[in-house]
Structure 1
Amino acid sequence: MTIEISGSKESAVEKFTVRRITESDLGDFRELRLEALRLHPDAFGASYDECTLKPLHFFAKQLRNSHVFGGFDLHNTLQGMIGVNRSSLPKLSHVASIWGMYVRAEMRGSGLSSRLMEAALEVASSAKTVKLSVVTTNRAAYALYHSFGFTEWATDTAALCVDGVFHDEFLMRLDSESGS
């Protein structure tokens, strides 16, 4: 899907493409994932120090085990990502999980976050429930998820510990009447 967004800083029309990230994008995916973990350690369960040591096939496995969508700019540079997966266990297969949402600072406010969420929710549309978590201090992400109908169902106190500092997370969900 190609998305055109009006109202950029130069008042021109910006274009970006949202598509599934494939193994041909593996190096860019790894780079963006590590950037997200380095710049926002309180927003992700994975850590930069741990993941920077992982071999490339670790990231390839993430792409195989999840639907991971990327937002690419006019120069085909990966500027944002979101992952969605479902359990293969029959008792949990009705639940999809959103993970790894990240958009580079220069693309925030462009509409890319919304388009990434739309792509993830389209893949998860057959799920009865879509779940995600967001650190309680990330008000922009919370507002985005809320705008898509996600509701807070719990607060996970001290969900993450980063450099000895504990961070709480809101657990959010989107329930569908039609999910299977």
Structure 2
Amino acid sequence: MTEIRVRLLGEDEWPAYRDVRLRALRESPEAFVASADEEAAFDDTVWQQRMERSRRLLAEAGEDVVGVVSVGTGHRTNIPGAGELFGLWVEAARRGTGVARKLMEEAAKVGRDEGLRQLVYWVGTDNGRAVAFASSFGFRPTDDRRPMRIRGVDDEDAESEEMMMVYPLGDHGGVPTSL
């Protein structure tokens, strides 16, 4: 299997982010609040503005994009010193092969470089695989919950719930500290 490389996108690489984001929404609609149809209708300026607000990381195998994750630097959470990890997706054929871990490791580095003290990650409570993965990486669940509407699955909206998980970012190379 080809080695996986994770890289931070520059703001001018918004078309690459747009393409993988739409691919993720089409392949895994149940994992996202937005729908592919909704976001496909965005004009280019929306995608450009998204690149300005958050850091976007791509996982690549050779020339193929196989995963993505975003790190928000505080605009989506009101917790001092916290950023938000969101939009994590790995193509189905690559799940369970370490791609998500590489994306998370690089996202943690980006968070540290941005001066963040912790990352917040909202995970669907009914997505056992995602909860288990985040826990194995060092994210810890909190009591915070919020409703989640999933759009475009079976032509209807579905209701679910997300829980907030938190990962501390210290000068410890990714080993979580106590919360």
Shorter-chain-normalised TM-score: which range?
A: 0.7 to 0.9
Letter in 2 for 1:67: R
Letter in 2 for 1:143: A
The answer to whether 1:101 aligns with 2:94 is no
**Residues 43 and 155 of structure 1: is their aligned pair in 2 closer, same or farther, counting only changes over 3 Å?**
farther
Correspondence for 2:35:
47
**Residues 88 and 103 of structure 1: is their aligned pair in 2 closer, same or farther, counting only changes over 3 Å?**
closer
Calculate the TM-score normalised by the size of structure 2: 0.80
Deviations 1:117-174 (A, max 9, x none): 0010111123222101111222222122111211111353532243242111121112
**Identity in percent:** 25
Matches of 1:16 and 1:129 in 2, distance apart? 25
Q: CA RMSD in A?
A: 2.4
Matches of 1:63 and 1:57 in 2, distance apart? 10
Calculate the TM-score normalised by the size of structure 1: 0.79
How many residues get paired? 165
Checking the alignment, whether the CA contact within 8 Å between 1:155 and 1:168 is kept in structure 2 is no
Matches of 1:48 and 1:166 in 2, distance apart? 18
Structure 1 residue runs of 5 or longer lacking an equivalent are: 1-7, 9-13
Structure 2 residue runs of 5 or longer lacking an equivalent are: 172-179
The answer to whether 1:143 aligns with 2:116 is no
Higher Cα Rg: structure 1 or 2? 1
The match for 1:28 among 11, 16, 27 is 16
Matches of 2:75 and 2:122 in 1, distance apart? 21
